[in-house]
């Protein structure tokens, strides 16, 4: 049992490597001699595939990390004296070491609390009311950033996204979507890429591939050429313009080819649904909110957590912020996050369930 479980790491979907389809594409691109700095045919293929997926012309900025993608997108939308409103537990606020502030030249991130990782219109309205548009002593509200999938593994419905972006636009804000798990959200909502981006009122999105089968590839997608005009310069100045950019383009093109992104996300979400159902059936285990994509959050007895760890099963301890009202965690309980991926197997979950 211990030997089998030692190979089970569900701490994140970043722990698995790239898919065979993406790796093969990297190997092919590696053997090619192509123009540098994004002028290669692989980047052109990736940009064309993204435009087809999103059903319109767009500006594409490929990067190797999600932090760079988020920070560059926000720098294009928000001036140094501006404020980015986001969830209080969002990745850009909690896990990116001030990169959005740094890349934007000083913009301030303002966190808005909300249950299960989600901002509500009321919460956004309250945050906007505390700012002072036109007053020189205050940062100016400039952008709204939402995460889809959220840090709690939950999803905004399309109606919820549209309500928040409409409210933001009423106050003159640009809108950004952090989509590091964009594919998982798309297949969960059974919607098009267009419906969850520009049709929902977003000016820019971060389209992630790394967590869903790429080696290291993310994309900033801008839907307004005027807003995207500064991106090539910001990316170069930030040190994220790869000379051998064909290796990014090859990853993204392969990721999008023949619905590979969709197949990977469907599998990851299905594995999470199975795991959530199994955990919910264990006495003493509680799920604070439904599992909607590929992340499962559970409050479990400390003794069960200890058995998993002894067996070599890896998951992530989580904070209790954003829990539903009345959902308390006792001293003898642990709040955990499990993340499934395109590489998670039925056998791995069976081993975990058998501990």
208-267 tens-digit pLDDT:
999 999 999 999 999 999 999 999 999 999 999 999 999 999 999 999 999 999 999 999
Q: Are strands 82-87 and 140-147 parallel, antiparallel or unpaired?
A: parallel
- For residue 319, the model assigns a pLDDT of 87
CA distance 207 to 6: 32
Fold adopted by 20-259: 3.40.640
- For residue 5, the model assigns a pLDDT of 42
- In the chain, where does DSSP find H-type helix? 2-5, 20-30, 41-54, 66-77, 91-94, 99-104, 121-129, 158-170, 182-189, 225-228, 231-237, 246-256, 260-280, 302-310, 346-353
Give this prediction's pTM: 0.95
- DSSP, collapsed to helix, strand or coil, labels residue 18 as coil
Percent with pLDDT over 90 in the chain = 94
- For residue 3, the model assigns a pLDDT of 44
- For residue 30, the model assigns a pLDDT of 96
- For residue 6, the model assigns a pLDDT of 53
Please report, in tens digits, the pLDDT of each residue of the chain (355 residues total). 344 445 799 999 999 999 999 999 999 999 999 999 999 999 999 999 999 999 999 999 999 999 999 999 999 999 999 999 999 999 999 999 999 999 999 999 999 999 999 999 999 999 999 998 999 889 999 999 999 999 999 999 999 999 999 999 999 999 999 999 999 999 999 999 999 999 999 999 999 999 999 999 999 999 999 999 999 999 999 999 999 999 999 999 999 999 999 999 999 999 999 999 999 999 999 999 999 999 999 999 999 999 999 999 999 999 878 999 999 999 999 999 999 999 999 999 998 988 8
Mean pLDDT of the chain: 95
Query: Which CATH code of 3.20.20.140, 3.40.630.190, 1.10.510.10, 3.90.1150.10 fits the domain covering 2-15+262-353?
Result: 3.90.1150.10
- The structural domains of the chain, with segments of one domain joined by +, span 2-15+262-353, 20-259
């Amino acid at each position: 049992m211990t030997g089998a479980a030692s190979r089970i790491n569900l701490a994140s979907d970043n722990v698995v490597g790239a898919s065979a389809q993406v790796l093969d594409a990297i190997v092919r691109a590696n053997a090619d001699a192509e123009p540098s700095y994004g002028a290669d045919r692989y980047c052109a293929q990736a940009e064309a595939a993204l435009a087809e997926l999103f059903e319109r012309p767009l500006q594409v900025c490929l990067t190797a990390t999600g932090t760079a993608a988020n920070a560059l997108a926000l720098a294009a939308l928000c001036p140094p004296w501006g404020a980015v409103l986001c969830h209080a537990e969002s990745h850009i606020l909690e896990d990116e070491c001030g990169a959005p502030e740094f890349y934007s030249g000083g913009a301030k991130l303002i966190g808005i609390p909300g249950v299960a990782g989600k901002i509500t219109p009321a919460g956004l309205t309250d945050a906007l009311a505390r700012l002072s548009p036109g007053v020189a002593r205050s940062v100016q509200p400039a952008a709204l950033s939402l995460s889809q999938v959220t840090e709690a593994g939950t999803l905004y419905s399309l109606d919820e996204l549209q309500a928040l972006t409409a409210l933001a636009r009423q106050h003159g804000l640009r809108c950004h979507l952090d989509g590091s798990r964009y594919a998982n959200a798309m297949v969960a909502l059974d919607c098009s890429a267009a419906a969850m981006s520009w049709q929902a009122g977003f000016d820019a999105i971060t389209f992630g591939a790394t967590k869903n089968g790429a080696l290291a590839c993310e994309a900033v997608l801008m839907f307004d050429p005027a807003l995207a005009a500064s991106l090539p310069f910001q990316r170069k100045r930030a040190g994220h313009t790869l000379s051998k950019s064909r290796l990014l383009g090859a990853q993204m093109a392969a990721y999008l080819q023949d619905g590979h992104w969709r197949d990977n996300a469907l599998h990851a979400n299905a594995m999470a649904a199975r795991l959530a159902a199994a955990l919910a059936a264990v006495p003493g285990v509680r799920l604070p909110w439904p599992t909607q994509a590929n992340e499962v959050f559970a409050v479990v007895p400390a003794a069960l957590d200890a058995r998993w760890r002894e067996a070599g099963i890896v998951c992530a301890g989580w904070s209790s912020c954003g829990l539903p009202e009345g959902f308390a965690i006792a001293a003898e309980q642990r709040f955990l996050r499990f993340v499934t991926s395109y590489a998670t197997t039925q056998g791995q979950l069976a081993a975990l369930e058998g501990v």
